[in-house]
Amino acid sequence: MKHKDFFLQVTADGVPRPQGSKKAFVRGGKAVLVEQSEGLKEWREHVASSVSTHMQYQGLEMIENAPVEVRLVFAMPRTKAMKPTDPLTMIQRPDIDKLERGILDAITGVVFKDDSQVCVVHKVKRRCAPGEPPNVFIEVELAKDQVTAW
């Protein structure tokens, strides 16, 4: 499918993992960098696999060299203390920018060639609605030419 028709929507179930700082240590006389976020590698692999499967099903190809707009909705686990009527807004960690970074890195090389192609991002972090499993909803399309500042 040509890039002008590119539109992807996919939900990856699972608890979204932030991509934060790297931790450095020396092993065998060489510096080693590892992600500090537990489960990040598995989460990114799961997201990449989910997105790749949906792209194949829809006949979409990776966007090689075009501006991209991304929308992300992170549905984070409810706390045990939450009542069904409590608001879904969430101000606790993890930071939304670190959640975004994990997703963009997971889908780079799958949806688009380089995350520098992403020129518009809309993102939401909230608690799951009652009965909803934790997940991330991802929507990607070509950025409109009318991108303007607020």
CA distance linking residue 54 with residue 39, whole number of Å: 23
**Which band of pLDDT confidence, cut at 50, 70 and 90, is reported for residue 4?**
confident
Q: Decide if pLDDT at 136 tops 60.
A: yes
Q: Decide if pLDDT at 120 tops 70.
A: yes
Question: Which residue from 110, 95, 98 is spatially nearest to 45, judged by alpha carbons?
Answer: 110
Count of H helices and E strands in the chain? 2, 6
Q: Where are the domains of the chain?
A: 3-142
Residues 6+ apart with CB under 8 A from 54: 8, 9, 10, 60
CA distance linking residue 36 with residue 22, whole number of Å: 6
pLDDT value for 79: 96
**Which band of pLDDT confidence, cut at 50, 70 and 90, is reported for residue 37?**
confident
Average pLDDT, the chain: 92
The edge-to-edge listing of strands for the beta sheet with 118-127 is 7-13, 135-142, 68-76, 118-127
Domain 3-142 superfamily per CATH: Holliday junction resolvase RusA (3.30.1330.70)
Lowest mean pLDDT among 1-5, 85-89, 116-120, 131-135: 1-5
Mean pLDDT score, 54-75:
97
pLDDT value for 148: 60
Per DSSP, the three-state class of 51 is: helix
The predicted model scores a pTM of 0.89
**Which band of pLDDT confidence, cut at 50, 70 and 90, is reported for residue 22?**
low
Q: Decide if pLDDT at 122 tops 70.
A: yes
